[in-house]
């Protein structure tokens, strides 16, 4: 397809596996997706630092396998010294991109006192490591669930940009108008960094519903109704989901989106199918 933005970039997100077998499987998925030549992979970071070692291990493995990789990072329950050590270890292995987040800290973990907003983490990274890292941040076309208002959320997004963020990846959404309206409003607020849509393939209705309830992403009624009507028919859910997400990607790229970031859920096929139909490389 024709891409309106010639500098469009593409990336795939993983979460860190909890077991050795999971890590081996992840590295197979990585190899399969690396063949599609994305610009980089990213690896999520668990709430409260719970997956710190898993994230670092996955980042190390992906980096050693020859791919550019962006670790996600949040203060969570860690001290500034611990975060600095982690940053230095990433720098030593050649990592030059990060996804900086506040993160979601589960209640009852006792780490509320170290609950830093993402803009504070970015200020810290810039103060300690200068311009070494390209810093990605999260943003929310349908607005962060804890935000007081649409304008406030954009105001705090701008704080992250002013603190030194270079580009942003959105929460997933299925309504392209929400994205384009958000981008317009960000531009009006003086936000000039690329805002890359986050794309969630649709493979399982119950999981999607659960994620969406937690993160505030809307599943449009027509999509919900259709998915519900398939019941346990996984093949039909996947086929319909692939169609919906392919159309979404096409609309976004034709409308000038500066790339796509796929939430792979550590699976090859849903992303590869969309990618091949988009015919991007």
Nearer to ligand FAD, 142 or 237 (CB): 142
Q: Are strands 134-139 and 9-14 parallel, antiparallel or unpaired?
A: unpaired
For the bound state, the minimum distance from the C-beta of residue 41 to ligand FAD, rounded and expressed in Å, comes to: 13
Nearer to ligand FAD, 217 or 253 (CB): 217
Residue 117 within binding range of ligand FAD, rule CB under 6 A: yes
In angstroms, the CA 186 to CA 191 distance is 5
Options 78, 119, 167, 266; binder of ligand FAD; rule CB under 6 A: 119
Number of residues that bind ligand FAD (CB under 6 A): 24
For the bound state, the minimum distance from the C-beta of residue 204 to ligand FAD, rounded and expressed in Å, comes to: 19
Query: What's the token pair of residue 115?
Result: 């609950």
Residue 153 within binding range of ligand FAD, rule CB under 6 A: yes
Residue 211 within binding range of ligand FAD, rule CB under 6 A: no
In angstroms, the CA 170 to CA 197 distance is 5
Question: CB-based contacts of 126: which residues, under 8 Å, 6+ apart?
Answer: 135, 163, 164
In angstroms, the CA 96 to CA 85 distance is 15
Residue 104 within binding range of ligand FAD, rule CB under 6 A: yes
Residue 45 within binding range of ligand FAD, rule CB under 6 A: yes
Options 63, 147, 166, 185; binder of ligand FAD; rule CB under 6 A: 147
Residue 154 within binding range of ligand FAD, rule CB under 6 A: no
Question: CB-based contacts of 167: which residues, under 8 Å, 6+ apart?
Answer: 134, 136, 137, 193, 194, 195, 196, 258
Residue 13 annotated to the active site: yes
| Catalytic residue list | 13
């Amino acid at each position: 397809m024709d891409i309106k933005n010639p500098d469009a970039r593409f990336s795939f997100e993983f979460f860190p596996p909890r077991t050795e077998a999971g890590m081996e499987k992840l590295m197979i998925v990585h190899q399969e997706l690396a063949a599609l030549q994305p610009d980089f992979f990213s690896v999520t970071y668990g709430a409260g630092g719970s997956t710190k070692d898993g994230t670092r291990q996955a980042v190390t493995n992906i980096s050693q396998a020859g791919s550019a990789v962006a670790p996600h990072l949040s203060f969570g329950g860690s001290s500034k010294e611990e975060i600095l050590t982690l940053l230095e270890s990433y720098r030593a292995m050649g990592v030059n991109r990060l996804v900086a987040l506040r993160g979601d800290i589960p209640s009852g973990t006792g780490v509320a006192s170290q609950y830093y907003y993402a803009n504070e983490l970015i200020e810290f990274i810039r103060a300690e490591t200068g311009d070494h890292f390209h810093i990605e941040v999260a943003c929310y076309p349908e607005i962060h669930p804890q935000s007081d208002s649409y304008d406030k959320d954009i105001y705090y997004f701008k704080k992250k940009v002013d603190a030194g963020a270079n580009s942003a990846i959105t929460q997933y959404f299925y309504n392209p108008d929400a994205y384009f309206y958000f981008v317009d409003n960000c531009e009006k607020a003086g936000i000039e960094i690329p805002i890359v849509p986050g794309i969630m393939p649709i493979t399982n209705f119950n999981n999607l519903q659960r994620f969406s309830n937690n993160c505030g992403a809307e599943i449009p009624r027509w999509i919900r109704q259709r998915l519900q009507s398939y019941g346990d028919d996984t093949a039909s859910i996947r086929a319909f989901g692939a169609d919906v997400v392919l159309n979404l990607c096409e609309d976004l790229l034709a409308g000038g989106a500066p790339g796509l970031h796929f939430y792979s859920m550590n699976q090859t096929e849903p992303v590869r199918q969309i990618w091949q139909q988009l015919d991007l490389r």
